[in-house]
Amino acid sequence: MLTQEQITAAQTRANDYLQRAGIVLTPQEVGKIEVADLGLSELEKTGLCLVIYINTDRYCAKELILFPRQTCPEHRHPPIGNDPGKEETFRCRQGTVYLYVEGEPAANLSAQPPAGSENYYTVRHEIELHPGEQYTIPPNTLHWFQAGNEGAIVSEFSSTSRDEFDIFTDPRIRRATVVE
């Protein structure tokens, strides 16, 4: 759970990151920055902030803002009906983001799962993204990501986003943020 004060502070901080990157939001968009603590109440370690520009039945565009070493936990976007699941392209805009997907494990990880949650991070193939670099994640692929020491901004371009159907490896995760 987060307090309204914590949410407002995170929205302000996320907007500061965006402004430094030259990404301008309208006042209405600033007020709608989603703060996702994923039910763990440890936003500095686990979670992210999101700006959803558009999400239709055909495509989606978002900004993902991560604070220094903040992690979005391991999850996948499963098939829903005839839809194979969300396919998404991450394009790093600022900072460094360490993305982990299925595949050959890295010998030494540049990111570490949050302490106490290590068992819920199973994929170890590392993709390191810097500004201007991108990577496309196929549907139904386990993945997780973490910002570097300076935080990160990632533009996400994808097929329709149905976050409520995401499957997280960690059973403690709750996608909707609860406000005290």
- Identify whether 176 is part of a domain: no
Confidence band of 10 (pLDDT split at 50, 70, 90): very high
Six-digit token string for 85: 């699941």
* Number of Cβ within a 10 Å radius of residue 167: 13
Q: Which residues contact 16 (CB under 8 A, 6 or more apart)?
A: none
- Identify whether 129 is part of a domain: yes
Give the per-residue pLDDT at 176.
77
Give residue 131's domain range: 4-168
pTM: 0.96
Q: Per-residue DSSP letters for 114-152?
A: PTT-GGG----EEEEE-TT-EEEEPTT--EEEEEEEEEE
- Identify whether 42 is part of a domain: yes
The mean pLDDT value for 114-130 works out to 97
Say if residue 177's pLDDT is above 90.
no
Confidence band of 180 (pLDDT split at 50, 70, 90): confident
Count of the separate structural domains present in the chain: 1
The mean pLDDT value for 154-163 works out to 96
Give the per-residue pLDDT at 175.
81
- What's 162's domain CATH number? 2.60.120.10
- Identify whether 174 is part of a domain: no
Give the per-residue pLDDT at 92.
98
CA angle, residues 116, 121, 126, in degrees to nearest 5: 125
Contact status, residue 50 vs residue 60, Cβ threshold 8 Å:
no
- Identify whether 17 is part of a domain: yes
Contact status, residue 21 vs residue 93, Cβ threshold 8 Å:
yes
Across the chain, what does the average pLDDT equal? 96
pLDDT, tens digit, for every residue of 73-119?
A: 999 999 999 999 999 999 999 999 999 999 999 999 999 999 999 99
Give the per-residue pLDDT at 178.
81
Six-digit token string for 7: 């949410």
Give the per-residue pLDDT at 67.
98
Phi-psi sector, 103: left (phi>0), alpha (psi -120 to 50), beta: left
Say if residue 33's pLDDT is above 90.
yes
The mean pLDDT value for 12-16 works out to 98
- Identify whether 178 is part of a domain: no
Q: Which helix (H) or strand (E) holds 19?
A: helix 4-20
34-36 and 143-158 beta bridge pairing: unpaired
- Identify whether 146 is part of a domain: yes
Q: What percent of the chain has pLDDT above 70?
A: 100
